[in-house]
Amino acid sequence: MKMFEIQPGEYARVRSLEAEGNIRRRLLDLGLVPGTLVQNIRRSPLGDPTLYAIRGAMIALRKEEAGLVNVDKEER
């Protein structure tokens, strides 16, 4: 599944990125390397962007960005 499909409160682990160049770099810089645990904290009132907990920081990502990240759902 894609990262934007994680529901509020749920966790998933990053499997791969479907991005190249600067966007890929930016996602990696935010800590989205394969194996990273991410949690959907909440969606903004309009549904986009979504706030995620990534490696100890809260980071808002738009659907286009979270759509570039393949994740596996993780039960916690």
Partner 1 sequence: MGLTNQSSGINVLRERFNVKSNLEQPVIALAGNPNTGKSTVFNALTGLNQHTGNWPGKTVLQAQGTFSYKGVEYRLVDLPGTYSLLANSAEEEVARDFIYFGNPDVTVVVGDATCLERNLNLVYQIMEITPKWIFCLNLMDEAKRKKVYINIEKLSEKLGIPVIPTVARKEEGLTDLKEAIAGMVRGELTTRPRLVRYDREIEEALDYLVPRLSSVIGERYNLRWLALKLLDGDQQIINHLQAQFSN
Instruction: Summarize as ranges the residues that interact with partner 1 (CB under 8 A).
Output: 22, 25-26, 28-31, 54-57
3-state DSSP assignment of residue 25:
helix
Query: Between 47 and 56, whose beta carbon lies closer to partner 1?
Result: 56
Q: To the nearest whole angstrom, how small is the minimum distance from the Cβ of residue 74 to partner 1?
A: 19
Among residues 46 and 57, whose Cβ is nearest to partner 1? 57
Q: Residue 54 phi/psi, 5° resolution?
A: -130, 115
* CA separation for the pair 46, 61 (Å, rounded): 13
Rounded CA-CA distance 36/40 in Å is: 13
| Of residues 26 and 42, the one with the C-beta less far from partner 1 | 26
